[in-house]
Structure 1
Amino acid sequence: MGKKLYKSSLDRKICGVCGGFAEFFGIDATILRLLVVLFTLAGGSGVLFYIVAALIMPDEPEYY
């Protein structure tokens, strides 16, 4: 079974988008957060990406 992309429920600052991408790709979420800020300052595309991803990505399922 392959990996699925979810918003992170543990590593979240706003909606868990960067934490979810970090878990999926196996990298540090801080790097992704810095990239989003960089793209936002470079032309505003970071905000658009984050909003679209927050709306489209499903929440991580809770396991009991």
Structure 2
Amino acid sequence: MSAPLVRPTEGRRIGGVCAALARRFGTSATTMRIIFLVSCLLPGPQFLVYLAMWALIPGEKSPRAAW
């Protein structure tokens, strides 16, 4: 079973989209970031898709201190 698609609170650089996709597909966040950067060399709306995913993928719930 794969992990849910949520932007993690740790291990993210800008918006956590690449880290979320890496978790979901079982690869490293660095690999996902390289794939995204290389894809930006190709024509297309990659940056807009990144922004849309940033807005649509929910953020991971931060763990609260149990007091």
TM-score normalised to structure 2 length? 0.80
How is 1:15-34 mapped onto 2 (pairs within 5 angstroms)? 15-34=15-34
RMSD value, Cα: 1.8
Partner residue in 1 for 2:46:
46
Unaligned segments of structure 1, at least 5 residues:
none
Tell me the CA shift for residue 2 of structure 1: 6.6
More helix by share: 1
Number of matched residues? 64
Structure 1: 4+ residue segments shifted above 3 A: none
Q: Deviations over 1:29-53 (max 9, x none)?
A: 1111111111111114321221111
SS in structure 1 at match of 2:40: helix
Which structure has the larger Rg?
2
- Compared CA separation, residues 2 and 42, structure 1 to 2 (3 A): closer
Unaligned segments of structure 2, at least 5 residues:
none
TM-score normalised to structure 1 length? 0.83
